[in-house]
Amino acid sequence: MAKASKKKQATTKDQLEQQVAELERDRNHLLAVVDILESISGSLNFVDILQSITSKLGDLYGLDRCSIFLAERRGKAARLVASYEDPSIRNYLVDLERYPELKRTLRSGEVVFIPDAASDPTLKHIKGALSKRGAKAITVVPISWRGAVIGAMFLRTFRDGPSFSDRDLKFCKVVANLTARALRNAYRYELLEHRRAETSEHARRANRERIVLVGFLSRLVESFSSRDGAWTEGLLSASAGDELNRLTDVVMTVIQEEGKGR
């Protein structure tokens, strides 16, 4: 009876420790989400946002590698736009044939999990590098927007590091969704800025054209005046002169109102 009681107590203790560990991990997940949301709301530069996300995930899990790739339209390549292990690497074009796990995720839209990367037959071409770095598991999570896969998060753990649980995978999916929204917002902002710049350039061009036109008309009038002399207006009747003055006032009023943008 005493042995059974001690065994039951040990089991209960282990269960409590496991529950505490899970709660601690959930707490870390929530804090990470808050940090990511703050980063997203504080910047509209998509490269800075993605770099912040890879850094957060890399620090949270102590990863060997954490990268974000964006898919190319032709589907044969992807661009590495943020990297935890080397933040200086940005907008680097990679051949998907060298990343079969990334290729699978981008084409299928599903999570790819490789529990032991060094022994996986699809990664035999980099087996030596994986073993040298002590890499263990690879997880690739798709980044999707409205049903279309626009990129992926690539996470690689160390052999002696913690393994990914179902909760960790769900958390990464949440981060992937946040990443997709951040990319969409950044894209809309850049598109708006581009259109605004185009509008400003169009307005500047139109203004220059008006200046040139007014300058041309002024010189044309001056040319006629210098050639024929101001006495030619004396040939007009008084009523004709008054009508010209009235028309001139009307035209100037219209031009001034149009300049106010009303």
Which residue is associated with the tokens 């004709």? 240
How far is the C-alpha of 208 from the C-alpha of 216, rounded, in Å? 12
Fold (topology level) of 2-179: Beta-Lactamase (3.30.450)
What residue type is 221 in one-letter code? V
pLDDT in the model for residue 46: 76
Bridge partners of residue 66, in order along the sequence = 155
Give residue limits of the domains in the chain.
Answer: 2-179, 193-259
pLDDT mean over 153-175: 88
DSSP 86-103: -TT--SEEEEGGG-HHHH
Mean pLDDT is highest, among 93-97, 190-194, 219-223, for: 93-97
Cβ-contact 90, 47 below 8 angstroms? yes
pLDDT in the model for residue 183: 80
- pLDDT category of residue 1 using cuts at 50, 70 and 90: low
Kindly tell me if the per-residue pLDDT of 260 is higher than 80: no
Query: Using one digit for the tens of pLDDT, what is the confidence trace for 42-65?
Result: 666 778 888 989 998 998 888 999
**What are the φ and ψ backbone dihedral angles of 116, each rounded to 5 degrees?**
-135, 95
pLDDT in the model for residue 185: 75
